[in-house]
Amino acid sequence: MLNKSEINDFYRERLHEHGASAEGVGWRDQSAQEIRFRQLLKVIDTDKPFTINDLGCGTGDLIKLLDSWYREQYTYTGYDTLDEMVFLARQQFKKSKSAEFHLLTDYKQLTPKDYSVASGIFNVRNSISNDEWQAYIMKTIHALNDCSEKGFAFNALTKYSDADKMRPELYYSDPLFLFDYCKKNFSKNVALFHDYTIYDFTIVVRKS
């Protein structure tokens, strides 16, 4: 995996400043976080119990929406590269019978589930070069594919953002390139959502 020590430092500072909250995992507010979650969960197309991986889970906020939408119809596994995030997630959901959290150091740790999602993990790159970050994105998408039996979804900032609002420490992906790559390499059933009012897009890959 990419050496993300400076990225972890960024999130560690946010977490120490804001605690277990949307702001603490790098989002502007809870609304900005939830609108992305809602797009990602479009990958789930069953009314039966399912399993799901959350890559870059932070403090486990996705569970709140899963509980609201699916009650106890799911089994959740969250992974994060920051040990403080994992600790707080375990504390926050210690009474949950359907959720567990792991510190991620290698993609080989990921175990196959019905679905996998990743929110916000491609946004902050700080001083890491474009080429290195793009390689990290592609490796991660392949890892999502490998650990997902029915489908996976991820989001990223879009290169179609207004130029005057772009920030140098953030990475703006090409949605058309990623859509094309997923169509050619993972499934014929791929959706690109780029219409939910923020400078962000979501790709959903369905395998069945």
What's the pLDDT tens digit per position in 133-142? 999 999 999 9
The CATH number linked to 88 is 3.40.50.150
What's the pLDDT tens digit per position in 115-148? 999 999 999 999 999 999 999 999 999 999 999 9
Look up the pTM and report it. 0.93
The per-residue b/e assignment along 91-127, b for 16 or more CB within 10 angstroms, e otherwise, is: ebbeebebbebbebeebeebeebbbbbbbbbbbbbee
Count of domains for the chain: 1
142 Cβ contact partners less than 8 Å away, ≥ 6 residues apart: none
What's the pLDDT tens digit per position in 34-75? 899 999 999 999 889 999 999 999 999 999 999 999 987 999
Average pLDDT of the segment spanning 94-113 = 95
- Domain limits at 178? 5-206
